[in-house]
Amino acid sequence: MMNMTDTVKQLLIINILCYVGAFIVPQSYDLLSLYYFESDKFHFWQPITYMFMHSKNSLMHIFFNMFALVSFGSALEHFWGAKKFLFFYFSCGLGAALIHSGVDYYEIHALLNQLQNTTISTADIHTILNTNFDDGNQFQGKLLYENAQVIFDRLNLSAEDFRILFDAAIKNQASAVGASGAIYGLLVAFAFMFPNAELMMMFIPVPVKAKYFVPVIVMLDLFSGVTGFSLFGSNIAHFAHLGGALIGFIMMWYWKKNQFNKNRWDR
């Protein structure tokens, strides 16, 4: 494995500090995670800061992301230099946030368009979607009803309308964390630059060339995002992964077309 480069090392340290800091200052987790842009919990800095936050419930989340950052990021920084590497990394992370938020927008408004009670106001919807109904472990329909009971009693909603609002509220209040979107961009760039490098999946102990490995990983995320069936566990932002990969692909295609990748930004 190539020695860790300076910028990758700094990103690694920041990620670890943020991970530990979220336990020391729990409020930082909500402030720095990425929330849906129409949510009351959204702040303008979150499309950047979410890249440095990781799930507090899974050590493997940050481990695999940092392992990939060191493995693929160091190779790319070595050939690109720090400035170009950072530009690419953050562009992919921002692209991941944009695609993830765009899918959330589509799904939330598709749900709200199904509401049978046409008398419900925009203000009532906003209040319901931003009502706290998290018991600390999961979202609870009972809590949503209790905490917004005044509105629900006044509107006399059907069970179907309540289910729609419940599902929309989950999407409105669920946060996204992790460097995965930026990492997927690095994977795509690595496959562009080193297509014949052999990589291995944890559950397939057979070397696979990067030009085959990366498309398979991306297609698995596309399958999971569309079908809702995931091979890698629950609560995964598949469209954030796909967004990072898409931006990474577009940038690499553009740079290769213009031979931009022959020049280091540090010179």
pLDDT at 205: 67
The reported pTM is: 0.90
pLDDT at 220: 87
Q: What is the 3 state secondary structure string of the chain?
A: CCCCCHHHHHHHHHHHHHHHHHHHCCHHHHHHCECCCCCCCCCCCHHHHHHHCCCCCCHHHHHHHHHHHHHHHHHHHHHHCHHHHHHHHHHHHHHHHHHHHHHHHHHHHHHHCCCCCCCCCHHHHHHHHCCCCECCCCECHHHHHHHCHHHHHHHCCCHHHHHHHHHHHHHHHCCECCCHHHHHHHHHHHHHHCCCCEEEECCEEEEEEHHHHHHHHHHHHHHHHHHCCCCCCCCCCHHHHHHHHHHHHHHHHHHHHCCHHHCCCCC
pLDDT at 203: 53
In a structure prediction context, what are the per-residue pLDDT tens digits for the chain, which is 267 residues long? 558 899 999 999 999 999 999 999 999 999 999 999 999 999 999 999 999 999 988 888 999 999 999 999 999 999 999 999 999 999 999 999 999 999 999 999 999 999 987 789 999 999 999 999 998 888 999 999 999 999 998 888 899 999 999 999 999 999 999 999 999 999 999 999 999 888 766 555 678 888 888 888 889 888 888 887 776 666 788 889 999 999 999 999 998 887 654 555 554
pLDDT at 263: 54
